[in-house]
Amino acid sequence: MIKIIINEQQSGRISSFEMKGHADFAEHGKDLVCAGASAVSFGAVNAVIALTGITPDIHQGSDGGYLKVEFPVTEKDDEIQLIVKAMIVSLQTIEQDYGQHIKLIFNR
């Protein structure tokens, strides 16, 4: 199962997210849940960089089963937060259909 831990401050600001594990929905290369979660998360991180010019602190595992992204507070924080919250909505949509393979956990 892919677990996505979202660290949210009392203000609602997302300070970081961490994805770990494998969906095990299908064999490697044909796993729709993994592909969807990866596309959404990496797309959001790439959008943050491309659209705001801010590069968050990114940590990846060597086997592809781990990603942690920490968002610094900057003058572009509102833009970053919108992108990150859109990512969360997309991941929740995947979770609705494939909840046995992907789980979002909010630390508030």
- Catalytic residue numbers read 22, 34
Question: Which string of b and e fits 21-46 if b means at least 16 CB within 10 Å?
Answer: bebebeeeeebebbebbbebbbebbe
Using DSSP bridges, classify how beta strands 102-107 and 57-60 pair: parallel, antiparallel or unpaired. unpaired
